[in-house]
Chain A
Amino acid sequence: MRTLGEYFRLYIIIEAQYIKARMQYRADFIISSIGMFFSSLATLGVFWVILETVPDLAGWSLMEMVFIYAFYMIAISPMQILFDHAWQIRFHVQQGTFLKYYFRPLNMMFYYMSEMFDLKGLTQLVIGIALLIYSSIQLNLDWSLTRFFLLLMTVFSAALVQISIVVAASCAAFWVIDSYPVLGLAWKLREFSPYPMSIFDGAFRFAFTYVIPIGFVAFYPSQLFLRPEEVSSLVYFSPIVGLGLFAITYWIWTKGVNSYTGTGS
């Protein structure tokens, strides 16, 4: 078994090489970043258009929505940057190239995911941080050291929730080969996480809180900073939700790689 430190050092070495290789295609990086810029702001644009017509969305103002959205963008960035290779599992499984990941003395999920480091995700992260700073200045939020640590903790948990949902969906490839429909669905669900959960009721609210807990990606943790007085106590469980989901995902991944027998091509 290798230690965490060794893995960290290894990751830096692998990604440094990867980034050097990608930098050959500088135009690609620039165009992709522009694409990322527009696509990450689309839903925010919709909120803006809506809030031009009505004063608030279920009681939330535009600037509060910007904060929730910024939190969402930061929380989904680690998945975009570090786990983007999840999208390719279906190709590797289909073509049989997945076999190579069995032959290294490394953790398989680590080895597989380290093969890609999505640079355009950094654009998303930067926009997210900028919007978070902008909205908290506009909203006069005061950032004590405790609250800052609370932010780090909730972002970490939210990122784990997001990573777990997407990686678990991509693991469907081990059983059904083409996991695109499952992944597409997971991806679509993700886009609803910055919506105020208070607009939902019944089955939807239950599902978004307990079944596929996208509420924990942005809305519930943001409440902690925007309106601490009306936050639901659920948010204090978010580290447990994050770590728990990741554990389940890791279990699914292990099951998947053990049951995969190749497609014979």
Chain B
Amino acid sequence: MRSYLPVARATYMIGLVYRFGFLFAIVGNLVYLGVAYYLWKSIYRHSETLRGLTFNETFLYVGLGSAIFILLKTYADWIIHYEIREGAIAMYLTKPIDFQIYALFANLGSMIMNVTVLTIPTALIMTLIFKVKFAFGPGLFLFPISLLLAFLVSFSIDYFIGIMGFYTESVWGLSATKEIVVTVFSGALIPLQFFPEAIQKVLYWLPFQAIYHTPLMMMTKPDQGLNIFLPMILVQLAWAAILFVLARLFYNQAIKVLRIAGG
């Protein structure tokens, strides 16, 4: 643990260099929030609630989704693929560190950076400009835990895709496919409640809902009992553990085929 914390610190500091970029990202989120506001306003034109959600709840779900989107987008797939292609991965193999834990902490650093410069401003814009009302309840306290578990699930999926770079040239195709599957089936674009019943059933069995849907529901309907929230957290925990182990096993297999051309 002590040798990995400085990694997180370093990536946090790297994030500080790109202040100019964050400005544009915030403007981007502001525009997105505006578009989502008008879109959902027009959908809720004739009804108070749709699929058990009010306009305020849906907009909170979608808007907060965009605020945490950057946190859960770890880029681990791109970075690992790049390191394999450039041969930089050999550097890590010679050091007494665990590559998976190293990659996890590197992403954790930039995630913490993004909380401060993107998530908090976006949440502020939502409450100040779009007048979103937050409800109170135990869900609010579980939200940070759920977000951290969501990060672990998302990281493991990205890491897994990154390792596939050991076998294939095409990281663009793999990552683009993964990204769309994750964003659509996790609730990042549209609340899962809106999907047709049959599809919803399938989606709740997939790991993707553990990334956005679970933490977002804790904020949208926080005034529910622990009998609702506890199973949700446990499912997240299970997925985080399963995917972490799977990715680890995959790495142990993949490392055997690694050939580095020059460097």
Selected contact of A28 from candidates B18, B169, B189, CB within 8 Å: B169
In the complex, the number of residue pairs spanning A and B with C-beta atoms less than 8 Å apart equals 110
Residue on A nearest B29 in the bound complex, by CB: A188
Q: Does chain B have a CB within 8 A of A54?
A: yes
Q: Does chain B have a CB within 8 A of A42?
A: yes
Q: Does chain B have a CB within 8 A of A96?
A: no
Tell whether, in the assembled complex, residue A184 and residue B175 are in contact, meaning their CB atoms are under 8 Å apart: no
Of B5-13, B37-45, B76-84, the segment with at least 4 beta carbons within 8 Å of chain A is B37-45
Q: Does chain A have a CB within 8 A of B20?
A: yes
Tell whether, in the assembled complex, residue B39 and residue A195 are in contact, meaning their CB atoms are under 8 Å apart: yes
Q: Does chain B have a CB within 8 A of A49?
A: yes
* Residues of A contacting B50 in the complex (Cβ-Cβ under 8 angstroms): 53-54
Q: Does chain B have a CB within 8 A of A15?
A: no
Tell whether, in the assembled complex, residue A27 and residue B168 are in contact, meaning their CB atoms are under 8 Å apart: yes
Tell whether, in the assembled complex, residue B176 and residue A39 are in contact, meaning their CB atoms are under 8 Å apart: yes
| Chain B residues touching A, majority SS | helix
* Residues of B contacting A192 in the complex (Cβ-Cβ under 8 angstroms): 31, 35
Tell whether, in the assembled complex, residue A199 and residue B39 are in contact, meaning their CB atoms are under 8 Å apart: yes
Selected contact of A199 from candidates B38, B181, B190, CB within 8 Å: B38
* Nearest-Cβ distance from residue A152 to partner chain B, whole angstroms: 29
Q: Does chain B have a CB within 8 A of A109?
A: no
Selected contact of A46 from candidates B21, B24, B179, B189, CB within 8 Å: B189
**Which residues of B (146-194) have their CB < 8 Å from a CB of A?**
168-170, 172-177, 179-181, 183-184, 189-190, 194
* Residues of A contacting B22 in the complex (Cβ-Cβ under 8 angstroms): 181
Interface size on A, residues (CB 8 A): 39
Q: Does chain A have a CB within 8 A of B195?
A: yes
* Residues of A contacting B46 in the complex (Cβ-Cβ under 8 angstroms): 54
* Nearest-Cβ distance from residue B228 to partner chain A, whole angstroms: 23
Tell whether, in the assembled complex, residue A46 and residue B175 are in contact, meaning their CB atoms are under 8 Å apart: no
Of A30-38, A67-75, A253-261, the segment with at least 4 beta carbons within 8 Å of chain B is A30-38
Tell whether, in the assembled complex, residue B21 and residue A181 are in contact, meaning their CB atoms are under 8 Å apart: yes
Tell whether, in the assembled complex, residue A31 and residue B170 are in contact, meaning their CB atoms are under 8 Å apart: yes
* Residues of B contacting A182 in the complex (Cβ-Cβ under 8 angstroms): 24
A195 to B181, CA, bound (A): 21
Q: Does chain A have a CB within 8 A of B25?
A: yes
Tell whether, in the assembled complex, residue A45 and residue B184 are in contact, meaning their CB atoms are under 8 Å apart: yes
* Nearest-Cβ distance from residue A82 to partner chain B, whole angstroms: 18
Q: Does chain A have a CB within 8 A of B137?
A: no
Q: Does chain B have a CB within 8 A of A101?
A: no
Selected contact of B174 from candidates A31, A46, A57, A188, CB within 8 Å: A31
Selected contact of A52 from candidates B47, B170, B189, B194, CB within 8 Å: B194
Tell whether, in the assembled complex, residue B42 and residue A199 are in contact, meaning their CB atoms are under 8 Å apart: yes
* Nearest-Cβ distance from residue A263 to partner chain B, whole angstroms: 16
Q: Does chain A have a CB within 8 A of B27?
A: yes
Tell whether, in the assembled complex, residue A38 and residue B170 are in contact, meaning their CB atoms are under 8 Å apart: no
Selected contact of A31 from candidates B35, B43, B168, CB within 8 Å: B168
Q: Does chain B have a CB within 8 A of A189?
A: yes
Q: Does chain A have a CB within 8 A of B144?
A: no
Max count, chain A CB within 10 A of own CB: residue among B20, B38, B196: B38
Q: Does chain A have a CB within 8 A of B32?
A: yes
Tell whether, in the assembled complex, residue B28 and residue A35 are in contact, meaning their CB atoms are under 8 Å apart: no
Q: Does chain A have a CB within 8 A of B245?
A: no
Q: Does chain B have a CB within 8 A of A58?
A: yes
Q: Does chain B have a CB within 8 A of A10?
A: no
Tell whether, in the assembled complex, residue A34 and residue B39 are in contact, meaning their CB atoms are under 8 Å apart: no
Q: Does chain A have a CB within 8 A of B2?
A: no
* Residues of A contacting B27 in the complex (Cβ-Cβ under 8 angstroms): 185
Q: A57-B43, A185-B24 are in contact. Are A33 and B18 (CB under 8 A)?
A: no
Tell whether, in the assembled complex, residue A46 and residue B169 are in contact, meaning their CB atoms are under 8 Å apart: no
What 1/0 flags go to A12-42 for Cβ under 8 Å of B?
A: 0000000000000101101111111011001
Q: Does chain B have a CB within 8 A of A139?
A: no
**Which residues of A (173-228) have their CB < 8 Å from a CB of B?**
176, 178, 180-182, 184-185, 188-189, 192, 195-196, 199-201, 204
* Nearest-Cβ distance from residue B129 to partner chain A, whole angstroms: 12
* Nearest-Cβ distance from residue B25 to partner chain A, whole angstroms: 6
Q: Does chain B have a CB within 8 A of A141?
A: no
Selected contact of A189 from candidates B31, B179, B195, CB within 8 Å: B31
* Nearest-Cβ distance from residue A127 to partner chain B, whole angstroms: 14
Tell whether, in the assembled complex, residue A178 and residue B174 are in contact, meaning their CB atoms are under 8 Å apart: no
Interface on A for B, CB 8 Å cutoff? 25, 27-28, 30-36, 38-39, 42, 45-46, 49-50, 52-54, 57-58, 120, 176, 178, 180-182, 184-185, 188-189, 192, 195-196, 199-201, 204
Nearest 5 A-B pairs (CB), nearest first? A31-B173, A35-B176, A181-B24, A35-B173, A181-B21
A–B complex contacts, Cβ < 8 Å, 6 sampled: A27-B168, A32-B176, A42-B183, A49-B190, A50-B194, A199-B42
Interface on B for A, CB 8 Å cutoff? 18, 20-25, 27-28, 31-32, 34-35, 38-39, 41-43, 46-47, 50-51, 168-170, 172-177, 179-181, 183-184, 189-190, 194-196
